[in-house]
Amino acid sequence: MHEMSLAMSVIDIVENAARAGNFRRVSTVWLEIGQLSAVEPEAMRFCFAAAARGTLADGAALQIIEINGRGLCFNCGETVPLAALYDPCPTCGGYPVQATGGTEMRVKELEVE
């Protein structure tokens, strides 16, 4: 499960922010996860809780903001919603559709003490 390594990277980001911002505890982490990112939100919650143990994010709430997939169809030129990578364009049925959103995962915000 790659979510554990991702959760550990999120904890690294949080700890780096703590050093830069001089705070001692994180109570909430807002994480954006794209629908096309291959990151399972529930697995991420589980892994985040495990990775946060003994850190300044121990016990922090993880708020996940899911970002819908979208893409640009090279056939019709439309920007369209995209449910999965390599799906055809929902407007014209054509290929290829290049993902333009929903592939990201990023720490959006921290609530700190």
Q: What is the pLDDT of residue 1?
A: 57
Distance CA 107, CA 54 (A): 20
Q: At what angle do helices 3-21 and 41-52 cross, to 10 degrees?
A: 50
Tokens coding 91? 């407007």
What average pLDDT is seen over the chain? Answer: 96
- pLDDT tens, position by position, 2-40: 899 999 999 999 999 999 999 999 999 999 999 999 999
Distance CA 23, CA 99 (A): 37
Domains, in order of start, for the chain: 3-112 (3.30.2320.80)
DSSP 8-state code for residue 102 = S
**Partners of residue 70 on adjacent β-strands:** 81, 101
- pLDDT tens, position by position, 50-69: 999 999 999 999 999 999 99
Residues 65/41, Cβ–Cβ less than 8 Å: no
Q: What is the pLDDT of residue 113?
A: 87
State the pTM of this model. 0.86
